[in-house]
A and B are shown apart, each in its own frame.
Chain A
Amino acid sequence: MSLNGWLQIAVFMATLILLAKPTGSYITRVFERRKTFLDPVLAPCERLLYRLTGINPEEEMRWTQYAVAMLIFSAATMLLTYVVERIQQILPLNPQHLPGVESALALNTAISFTTNTNWQSYVPESTMSYLTQMLGLATHNFWSAAVGLALAIAFIRGISRREANTLGNFWVDLTRGTLWVLVPMSVVLALALVSQGVVQNLRPYDTAKILESQKVTDSHGAVTTVTTQTIAQGPVASQEAIKMLGTNGGGFFNANSAHPFENPTPLANFLEMLAIFLIPAALTFTLGQMVGSQKHGLAVLGAMIVLWFAGVFTCYWAESQPNPLLHGVDQHVSQLQAGGNMEGKEVRFGIANSALFATVTTDASCGAVNGMHDSFMPLGGLIPMANILLGEIVFGGVGAGLYGMLVFVVMAVFIAGLMVGRTPEYLGKKIEAYDVQMSMLYLLIFPLIILGFSAISVLMPNLGLSSLANHGPHGLSEILYAYTSATGNNGSAFAGLSANTHWYNYSLGAAMFFGRFMMIIPMLAVAGNLARKKIVPASAGTFPVTTPLFTVLLTGVILIVGALTFFPALSLGPVLEHLLLRAGQAF
């Protein structure tokens, strides 16, 4: 670890905190339908959309109506993406004449982008046409993030409203989140990325003559001499911006943000990381403003910062360690080299920015990568996986992070109530049996999907092990990471597992689907139930949710739930691999 590295990490967090409050205040204004500086341009567009679709923006929805509207919207857009993928060969904007996407892969990808996961079992530049990338995939980057944002706002309304049956209007929240928040921020970020050299065009791929011809042997043993290289390009910057801001993570290129056309400079890298965390961090201020307790928003933000720091510190430390199997190789930091474990990392970014990016992308539900998590040291790779396993509530995905964190808040308040022997209260709302049941349903579905599918994959060699490149604990980590990433709607991958098989396409598709919708519904049920309650005045026995003590309790509950649930699986994966690496064995 170096001072330079820590300074970069500190500048990142300081910039994030500076930007989060004004962004959070702006989001509050947008969802409370107060005036903003973009109204002259966007308000007519909004009115036109409502008129065309026959939506009454004044109509309020109960939680069940809100959930069904969200499901209808997700089903319709998922179907659209599936169809576009299947028939892309007869649609325009396909200069490379790519064929239609195979059915299992098309279904997996449609689910993946609808659920904000962006798991990619394919090489984008050689599978998806420009139209599919823009109409089928980039649109979902906006929509799935806007759905998450709407759901978080609905949860906040559940806390702030008293004796109300409704949580707002899903269609209005979706529209305003897209038009006022995601589109303008994406335009600004896309232009900033173009200034750094990110590609944005609709040209066919270029062919370049390489300087030295290369002999390549294919799987049948035939040798061919390669003299040219195809340079893939396309509308990258526009997709890159929303890929980060919407915490989607699906790269235009297979190498994702390690590709120089997606992430060309250290400044572009800094902006991309900032974009991942900006809206989730801002939402803690929105929470504080909408519930009338800014200190509560800060207490939640505090827990997020503590968990983020623990992750980035451990990952940076682990990656700075020399690989014990490389005997006689100087791996220490010097003027000439980064030191530590540079396998799978971009030299443009080095260890500090790779560890920070890996932590940020998995704290949030983004899944973009600028280095290969599979090549991290065992404990370094443990951190991205553990971040997702905690539920991606450390800032988290756009909206999804906050509502996931608020479910943990309900549990923390419940546990505090048990400790002091009183009915738990959260900002004046009594937490009752139904709230805890639904919160527990939310928390239990997640490990059930991850551990269930991982166990089936390990126990059925023909299904789960046939496309696995590594054996031993590292192989288990690859399988566990895949289902963790899919269920957590993250989308990043440990390489080494070839997931484009029928088993993995369908089972990961199911994990993404259930990990999204089966968790959203109980969360909305909690919100709907909280909205109906009266506010009771705070008394001497009320556990305050605005103090550092609450931050400590919340952090503890998150760590204990995550640790108790997943520690056995992690022990057999990255922890065992770490111990065996120290003993001289690699996988």
Chain B
Amino acid sequence: MLDIVAIFSFITLFPLCVLYVHGCEQLKGKRK
């Protein structure tokens, strides 16, 4: 049961960060 929390964290947190990278880059694009 508890390993599920860890696995869920791994598969959500890092992709969320990649999305965040994309968001920061997009913000620059919009400013242009």
Measured CB to CB, the residues of A under 8 A from B are 63-64, 67-68, 71, 74-75, 78-79, 82, 86, 102-104, 106-107, 433-434, 437-438, 441, 506, 509, 513, 517-518, 521-522, 525, 529
Chain B binding surface SS class: helix
Chain A binding surface SS class: helix
Known A-B contacts A103-B6, A438-B24, A525-B24; A518 and B31 likewise in contact (beta carbons under 8 Å) = no
Find B27's partner among A64, A434, A509, A517 (CB 8 Å cutoff).
A434
**Cβ contacts under 8 Å, B3 to chain A:** 86, 103
Q: Judge whether B28 and A103 touch: CB under 8 Å.
A: no
Q: Judge whether A506 and B14 touch: CB under 8 Å.
A: no
Q: Judge whether A433 and B18 touch: CB under 8 Å.
A: no
A-B contact pairs, 26 of them (CB 8 A): A63-B25, A64-B21, A64-B25, A68-B21, A71-B14, A71-B18, A75-B10, A82-B6, A102-B2, A103-B2, A103-B3, A103-B5, A104-B2, A104-B5, A107-B6, A107-B9, A434-B27, A437-B27, A438-B24, A441-B24, A506-B5, A517-B20, A521-B17, A521-B20, A521-B21, A525-B28
| A413 to B24 CA separation, bound complex (whole angstroms) | 22
Q: How far is the CB of B4 from chain A (nearest CB, A)?
A: 9
**Cβ contacts under 8 Å, B22 to chain A:** 64
Q: Judge whether B28 and A518 touch: CB under 8 Å.
A: no
Q: How far is the CB of B1 from chain A (nearest CB, A)?
A: 8
Q: Judge whether B31 and A433 touch: CB under 8 Å.
A: yes
Residue-wise interface mask of B (6-20) relative to A, using a CB-CB cutoff of 8 A (1 in contact, 0 not): 100110011001101
**Cβ contacts under 8 Å, A529 to chain B:** 28
Find B18's partner among A68, A506, A525 (CB 8 Å cutoff).
A68
Supplied contacts A68-B21, A521-B17, 8 more A-B pairs, CB within 8 Å: A64-B21, A82-B10, A86-B3, A104-B6, A513-B13, A522-B24, A525-B25, A529-B28
**Cβ contacts under 8 Å, A521 to chain B:** 17, 20-21, 24
**Cβ contacts under 8 Å, A506 to chain B:** 5
**Cβ contacts under 8 Å, A82 to chain B:** 6, 10
Chain B residue with minimal CB distance to A522? Answer: B24
Chain A residue with minimal CB distance to B11? Answer: A75
| A529 to B14 CA separation, bound complex (whole angstroms) | 23
Find A71's partner among B5, B9, B17 (CB 8 Å cutoff).
B17
**Cβ contacts under 8 Å, A67 to chain B:** 21
| A547 to B14 CA separation, bound complex (whole angstroms) | 41
**Cβ contacts under 8 Å, A434 to chain B:** 27-28, 31
**Cβ contacts under 8 Å, A102 to chain B:** 2
Q: Judge whether A107 and B21 touch: CB under 8 Å.
A: no
Q: Judge whether A517 and B2 touch: CB under 8 Å.
A: no
Chain A residue with minimal CB distance to B13? Answer: A513
Chain A residue with minimal CB distance to B10? Answer: A79
Q: Judge whether B24 and A518 touch: CB under 8 Å.
A: no
Q: Judge whether A75 and B14 touch: CB under 8 Å.
A: yes
| A518 to B4 CA separation, bound complex (whole angstroms) | 24
A-B pairs with lowest CB-CB distance, top 10: A103-B2, A107-B6, A525-B24, A75-B14, A67-B21, A517-B17, A103-B3, A71-B17, A434-B28, A64-B25
Chain A residue with minimal CB distance to B1? Answer: A103
